[in-house]
Amino acid sequence: MTAMTTTKDDLVTDATTAPRRDITAWIGLVLRLIVGAVMLWAGITKAMNLSETQMATRAFQILPYELAGAWGLVMPFVEILVGALLVVGLFVRPAAIVAGLLMVAFIIGIISVWVRGISIDCGCFGGGGTTKEPAYPMELARDIALFACCAWLILKPRTKFDLDSKLWG
Per CB under 8 A, the segment of 5-13, 24-32, 33-41, 145-153 that binds another protein is 5-13
Q: Is 65 in the site for another protein (CB under 8 A)?
A: yes
Q: Is 22 in the site for another protein (CB under 8 A)?
A: no
Which amino acid belongs to residue 133? E
Per CB under 8 A, the segment of 10-18, 23-31, 102-110, 143-151 that binds another protein is 10-18
Angstrom CA distances, 108 to 11, 60, 111, stand at: 42, 11, 5
Binding marks (x or -) toward another protein, 129..168, rule CB under 8 A? xxxx----------------------------------xx
Please, which residue, 69 or 152, has the CB nearer to another protein? 69
The 10 Å CB-count burial string (b at 16+, else e) for 106-144 is: bbebbeebbeeeeebbbbbebbbeeeeebebeebbebbe
